[in-house]
Amino acid sequence: MIRNMEDPREGRELLALFKVGLASGLIKREEATAWADGIILREPEPDILFIELSLAKTTDEAVTLLGECLRSEAPVNGMVLLGLLHRSLMEGEDLGVIVRTMYGVMDVAEFTELERGYIYQLNDGYDLASEKIWGTIPKVRQDMEEFLSVYSDFTWQNHGLWETLGKKADQALKELEREYRAVAARATGNGDPTQG
């Protein structure tokens, strides 16, 4: 495994995140290179992986290197991926790309049941709006922004804060769910948002 990283769990989590992030396009190869370069400069004897990652010429090469190091699929923190998706959406990435990427990482990331429900709902909402069956793309985009904004503080650079940010995000998502239920209850004429 990786020598020189203070916390081996942190090392695996970040390696898994970079592997999935690079493969999905949520992390650019230049970001992975900068991360590896930072470790090389900071450590007196950096692991060869970081040197090879720094020298990787393509994204595929970097993903392969990370995969070989991990040797097995390490679960990826889904909240961080959602934070990266939020960044991409705010930078102007196409909503369809965001939806497909979010749905595509479901099998390799850890998500709560509530998060998975939102991901399925947003995926279905986008498909229905795209086909002009039900809903609109602007409404799906608004819902996507509201959902992903819960994770806006997550980055690969702030690993030490992930646990604290996770608790904050869990509470924010539960509040968002309560708001959606209240709106749905009013729309259906049911004054009690806890029913139905």
pLDDT at 180: 86
- Indicate the SS3 state at residue 110: strand
The CB-side HSE value for 193 (13 A sphere, CA atoms) comes to 12
Give Dmax over CA atoms of the chain in angstroms: 66
More confident site: 9 or 86: 86
Question: What's the pTM?
Answer: 0.88
pLDDT > 70 fraction of the chain, expressed in percent and rounded = 90
192 pLDDT more than 60: no
Tokens 């497909």, residue located: 100
Rounded Cα distance, 60 and 50, in Å? 15
Amino acid at 171: Q
